[in-house]
Amino acid sequence: METISLARGNPAHECIPVEELASCARAAVERDGSTVLSYGPVGGYQPLREWIAERHGVDPARVLVTNGSLQGMVFLAERFRAGRVLVEAPTYDRPLKILAAHGVETTPVAMDDEGLEPDALDQALRVGEKPAFLYTIPTFQNPSGRTLSLERRHRLVELARQHELLVLEDDPYGLVRYEGASLPTLFALEGGERVAYSSSFSKTIAPGLRVGYFVLPAPLERELEALALSTYITPVLLGQATVFEFLRRGNFEPNLERVRSLLGVRRDAMLEALERELPGARWSHPEGGYFIWLELPEGTDTAALLGPAGEAGVTYVPGADFGGAQNTARLAFSFVSPDEIKEGVRRLAALVREPLPV
Ligand SMILES: Cc1ncc(COP(=O)(O)O)c(C=O)c1O
């Protein structure tokens, strides 16, 4: 029996425009090969930096393009080594590990269905050492799929101003929306002074290109550039130039539409399967992104259930890996087919109904 992965937060293979990217990579080398294949500006391929800067209404010098946005998180962790960072509870596990590896203490701040709780943030800002920054994923959060409401976005910006808090808004999923109206980013609401912004072409074009970016206050951008220089001299310009060629050809929006329709049906399949199979549970209802946050009945231990789940042919990530409660799990609908999603949820539900042997 094939194991169905509801764990992998990857795009389905069909999402990746392989042929078009092959053509873009070739064109990028033919047009600008001596730049793209040399050491070059550490901040990124200049035409791409300018494209990103224009999109966000900033000077290109504030844009740092990195080998995937996680690489930028490593630079931030180095920059704020041994400091303190506020994070959402739960949050994406990789930044938690990167921060811990650099001796950064993380303080979890509570969330509910509407995202980060502003009162909990206010409270967290009143105790202990001043945090270096708040790390937040306001839209289609990894792992919960939750989205911060508009009212709370305004509150969060107010709190950032009031407490002179730097906020890092990580937004790789915002454009991957299947329904509903987009909300303004914290970055746009605040004006980009206290709020830094990161995103990536991993979910909108292809993760293997490894092109992520940060829009930062100018002094911080220069500090991170210095760290990037001493790490890799130049980021992978070929990936960045390939992305730029893809954008230049006008492929971005049509590709996003295609990705939205491929993944939207997967999201629907998972919501329908949960409704049918797990009447005793709760889960988030994301309008986009890759993930659904499952809350099983009190007393269920999703980490203990993982072994039996593997034997039954389904995997997921236990919520505790993200700082969530024992009875929670992250289910990704992005990678497998709608039929596999239905079957995966059926297998999981059968296990949940069956008490674990003691
Ligand atoms: C919230 C979040 N930030 C960052 C990343 C990493 O993106 P990249 O591929 O650009 O390193 C991911 C990938 O899953 C993510 O979920």
Q: Are residues 138 and 208 in the same domain?
A: yes
Query: 115 is written with which tokens?
Result: 């995202």
CATH number for the domain harbouring residue 277: 3.90.1150.10
Nearest residue by C-alpha to atom 11 in ligand 1:
68
Our answer on whether the CB atom of 139 is closer than 6 Å to any ligand 1 atom is: no
pLDDT score for 343: 98
Q: Are residues 230 and 316 in the same domain?
A: no
Answer positive or negative: Cα dihedral of 269, 273, 279, 282: negative
Residue indicated by tokens 């001299």? 233
Please give the chain's pLDDT, 358 residues, in tens: 899 999 999 999 999 999 999 999 999 999 999 999 999 999 999 999 999 999 999 999 999 999 999 999 999 999 999 999 999 999 999 999 999 999 999 999 999 999 999 999 999 999 999 999 999 999 999 999 999 999 999 999 999 999 999 999 999 999 999 999 999 999 999 999 999 999 999 999 999 999 999 999 999 999 999 999 999 999 999 999 999 999 999 999 999 999 999 999 999 999 999 999 999 999 999 999 999 999 999 999 999 999 999 999 999 999 999 999 999 999 999 999 999 999 999 999 999 987 655 5
Domain that holds residue 9: 4-15+253-353
Indicate the length of the chain as a whole number. Answer: 358
- Encoded amino acid at 190, one letter: E
Count of domains for the chain: 2
Nearest to 262 by CA among 335, 316, 343, 325: 335
What is Dmax (Cα atoms) for the chain? 65
Q: Are residues 82 and 198 in the same domain?
A: yes
pLDDT score for 358: 52
Query: 145 is written with which tokens?
Result: 């799929």
> Is residue 277 domain-resident?
yes
Q: Are residues 101 and 216 in the same domain?
A: yes
pLDDT score for 171: 98
pLDDT score for 203: 98
Our answer on whether the CB atom of 202 is closer than 6 Å to any ligand 1 atom is: yes
Our answer on whether the CB atom of 43 is closer than 6 Å to any ligand 1 atom is: no
CA of 181 to the centre of ligand 1 (A): 23
Q: Are residues 239 and 293 in the same domain?
A: no
CA of 172 to the centre of ligand 1 (A): 6
Q: Are residues 314 and 208 in the same domain?
A: no
Out of 248, 267, 286, a domain closes at 248
Q: Are residues 210 and 73 in the same domain?
A: yes
Nearest residue by C-alpha to atom 12 in ligand 1:
172
pTM for the complete prediction? Answer: 0.97
Nearest to 118 by CA among 149, 164, 84: 149
pLDDT score for 355: 61
Our answer on whether the CB atom of 21 is closer than 6 Å to any ligand 1 atom is: no
Backbone angles phi, psi at 167, to 5 degrees: -115, 135
- Encoded amino acid at 103, one letter: G
> Is residue 358 domain-resident?
no
Give the position, in ligand 1's atom list, of the atom nearest the Cα of 66. Answer: 10
CA of 307 to the centre of ligand 1 (A): 27
Give the whole-angstrom CA distance, residue 323 versus residue 286. 20
CA distance readout (Å), 324 to 265, 278, 319: 27, 20, 5
> Is residue 261 domain-resident?
yes
Residue indicated by tokens 């993380």? 106
Give the whole-angstrom CA distance, residue 115 versus residue 119. 12
Nearest to 243 by CA among 207, 211, 216: 211
> Is residue 333 domain-resident?
yes
To test the pocket of ligand 1, the residue of 52, 142, 290 to mutate (highest count of ligand atoms within 8 Å of its CB) is 142
